[in-house]
Structure 1
């Protein structure tokens, strides 16, 4: 009877350990992909995760499956964090600022190359994750424009392009140098988004559909 209880009690622990290992692998892969690109050796990802190669391959059959999990994890985190920021912020523009600074921390600029090179962007799970994020981003922008704090000629695509471009370090810059200045320069740009607008922007607001089309048709690494 005791042995049976022990066996029954062991399964949840094994499942919990497996879940933790999977989460550690995805987190380590995200860091390594950002630093070295998606071609980083899987041995390096296993080392960063603190697990053996066999454990990594038990969870992910190949590199594409691992990239897919990283992309889904980043999209889900961004949507969840953006929603939390919206709920806690005193006004819509503060929520927008929090989201954009957060997008830089989540390294959204590294996400589109992974999508364009490794993923089928029309895959249902990817589309669903992007739709959830699109809804949150669109809501933040709509609320900020309704309250009159965000200039009216800005679209959701403009915000995502802004965050991804500023998140990319200059050629030759170290990660430390870039991280030190990125939020300072980002805040300068955010101040330029405030209403009333002081200039007329060329072209039209960028939509999230524009970004999707760009990611689908871009060369690897050129989203």
Structure 2
């Protein structure tokens, strides 16, 4: 007699409080990694998140997994800002103004602190990280292409040029003591954005930079 194979059991969905704890850990880690650098003690992150050490290690068994989650969460929020900007340019909106809003929103995510995080002991080829980076690159390229097509963005800049400038101008490196420089961020970003407008007033040395070239560097 044939016996039916039982259907595989679905993995239980995480409880709401477990998801909240995970989100609190990632938020606390993001802030402390920016403020104190990538070597900040994990116990300090747990304390700031208001959870026990066991809860942190249950979600993130090692520093690498937590740093990767922080980087992916920041890239995810940047991607959402790019998607919003693309939506704004879908009608009759000003494409360059939408690009400018995206740049300022990206600065608020403190993307300048991602470089020391990624350059530490880190699995840069992890599929989650690759997917997050690829999504950002595609969205920002689409946003820049719309501004170029409208004749508002100079033609000799690439996604890498834009993102590395935002990273350099947005925040001091993780652990830096000059956080009072924050008050100049949006002022200096606007000066940079004015230099991106078409028609260009100068010829840039070298060639435009891609995200792939930045990764290889």
TM over 0.5: yes
Segment of structure 1 superposing worse, 187-196 or 91-100:
91-100
Q: Secondary structure at the match of 1:131?
A: helix
Give TM-score scaled by structure 1 length.
Answer: 0.85
CA drift of 1:112 comes to: 2.1
Match of residue 154, structure 1, among 139, 152, 157? 157
* Equivalent residue for 2:208, pick from 182, 205, 208: 205
User: Hey, what does 2:50 align to over in structure 1?
Assistant: 50
Matched-pair contact (CA < 8 Å) for 1:151–1:195: yes
Deviation at 1:173, TM superposition (A): 6.0
Seen in structure 2, the aligned counterparts of structure 1 residues 58 and 172 have a Cα distance that, compared at 3 Å, is closer
5+ residue gaps, structure 2: 1-11
The structure 1 residue matched to 2:199, chosen from 188, 196, 200, is: 196
Equivalent position to 2:178, from 157, 174, 177: 174
SS in 1 for 2:125: coil
Partner residue, 1:94: 97
Q: Which residue of 2 aligns with 1:26?
A: 26
Q: For the residues of structure 2 that align with 1:180 and 1:101, how far apart are their CA atoms?
A: 13
Distance in structure 1 (CA, Å) of the matches to 2:160 and 2:178: 28
1:69 — aligned with what? 69
**1:39-58 deviation line (CA, Å, top 9, x unaligned):** 00112111211112121112
Match of 2:20, SS? helix
Q: Separation in 1 of the partners of 2:115 and 2:176?
A: 21
Conserved? CA contact 1:115–1:121, under 8 Å: yes
Among 137, 140, 147, the residue aligned to 2:140: 137
- Give 3-state SS (helix, strand or coil) of 1:203's partner: coil
Question: 1:99-133: per-residue Cα shift (whole Å, max 9, x none)?
Answer: 11112111111112222213222222211111111
Mapped to 1, the partners of 2:143 and 2:122 lie a distance apart of 27
- Give the C-alpha shift of residue 68 in structure 1: 1.2
| Counterparts of 2:95 and 2:154, CA distance in 1 | 12
Using the size of structure 2 for normalisation, the TM-score is: 0.87
Structure whose residues are more often helix by fraction: 1
> Unpaired segments of 5 or more residues in structure 1?
1-10, 215-223
CA distance in 1, matches of 2:57, 2:105: 31
- 8 Å contact 2:160–2:211 — kept in the other structure? yes
Q: Distance in 1 between matches of 2:202 and 2:97?
A: 22
